[in-house]
Amino acid sequence: MKILQTPARFYPFTGGVENYVHNLSRELVEMGHEVTVLCANEPESKKNEFIDGIKVRRLPYIGKIANTNITPRIPIELLREDFDIIHTHLPTPWSADWSAVAAAVKGKPLVLTHHSDIVGQGRMNYIAKFYNNINQKLVLKCASKIIITNPKVVESSQCLKLYSHKIKIIPIGVDAERFSPFDYTKKEGSGENIILFISVLDKFHRFKGLDRLLMAMVDVVEAVPTAKLIVGGEGALLDYYKNMASSLGLEGRVKFLGYIPEDAICDLYNRCDLFVLPSISASQETFGIVLLEAMACARPVVGTEIVGVAEDVKRHEAGFIVQSGDENALADAIIKLLQDGGLRLKMGTNAREIAKRYYNWGEVALNMESLYEGLVKGK
């Protein structure tokens, strides 16, 4: 099949949607399909190239609205492309809107992965509501199938309930070869118990819950003086979080690393004792891929009930799941893991097994291929 993917951006730009498209497309190419990615031309990216067998075409953009690149040429280029099926993504509306138009004009099936609702802060909230009430409903109506990665998304979404008959659940995968544990003898440390958190640190990602984690760290450090929180990621709120840590008296117990190169992330997972993602918004946090990456590296995790792997983490004892927004429960879970090395080892081993068995990209791609083929054949 000729598959056209239309994310707003693509590798080497990295993020949840970008990594999803990259990993899925790579597997589909290995299965013999022809995959083209049409996206915005971020700085220092080549206009046209092949990445892991994926044909990448990048278009100039004139600016961004919130986190979405505006590429004026995408309507024309979509109509020029030869494809059997088009796969687009939300919450980056511009590409999704025009993908829906192109699919309708050319009479081709449209698959939409709904990664999260579109939300905004301040004035952008009004724009987001306007889009959700008009454009997003039209895109969802045009979609032949809507993919979600977590069944809880339907309950929290403002838009998906009307289209439940179109929805198929296909979870996100993880590259368990790339994200794998180092030998424990190779793990370096200074006697500190390392807690890891990774996210973009801007207003669009406040739902990741770093403020809650910083508040929880006050109790954690009191119970486990060797505890240290490592925060990976950069963004406009970096200084805000630094000041918050200082005001909470956490000097020396929280370290902000800033930008983490893609090739350094696995090493970072392996050097921590546990990974924490205390997400607080079910409509925005539809999965939480960083939890899965940490699990593949055999690290126990602490998350909230809204993350995509919550049920598997609880069922297979791969960490602790707490109520979103409850920093006391968050602190208790972290303390319990830091005070029990045997429990960390057991839960980390379970976490690795879950990632390999239930969340491999090969299985995700097979499920997606089956869905594509059914739509192309008109089933």
Q: For the chain, give every domain's residue range.
A: 2-173+360-378, 193-359
Check residue 92 and give its pLDDT.
81
CA 291 – CA 31 distance, rounded (Å): 27
Of the candidate CATH numbers 3.40.50.2000, 3.90.1150.10, 3.40.50.1820, 1.20.1600.10, the domain formed by 193-359 belongs to 3.40.50.2000
Whether the pLDDT of residue 360 is over 50: the answer is: yes
CA 245 – CA 366 distance, rounded (Å): 45
Check residue 130 and give its pLDDT.
66
Q: What is the pLDDT of residues 30-77, one digit of tens each?
A: 999 999 999 999 877 788 999 999 999 999 999 887 778 889 999 999
303 neighbors 319 (Cβ within 8 angstroms) = yes
Check residue 154 and give its pLDDT.
84
- Sheet of strand 167-169: strand arrangement: 48-51, 54-59, 34-40, 2-6, 85-90, 110-114, 145-148, 167-169
Q: What is the pLDDT of residues 194-219, one digit of tens each?
A: 999 999 999 888 999 999 999 999 99
Which of 298, 294, 273 lies closest to 193 in space, CA to CA? 273
Q: Write down the architecture of domain 2-173+360-378 according to CATH.
A: 3-Layer(aba) Sandwich (3.40)
End-to-end CA distance of the chain: 16
Whether the pLDDT of residue 329 is over 90: the answer is: yes
Q: How confident is the model at residue 188 (pLDDT cuts 50, 70, 90)?
A: very low
Whether the pLDDT of residue 3 is over 90: the answer is: yes
Q: How confident is the model at residue 337 (pLDDT cuts 50, 70, 90)?
A: very high
Give Cβ neighbours of residue 30 (< 8 Å, ≥ 6 apart).
Answer: 53
147 neighbors 111 (Cβ within 8 angstroms) = yes
Domains 2-173+360-378 and 193-359 share a fold: yes
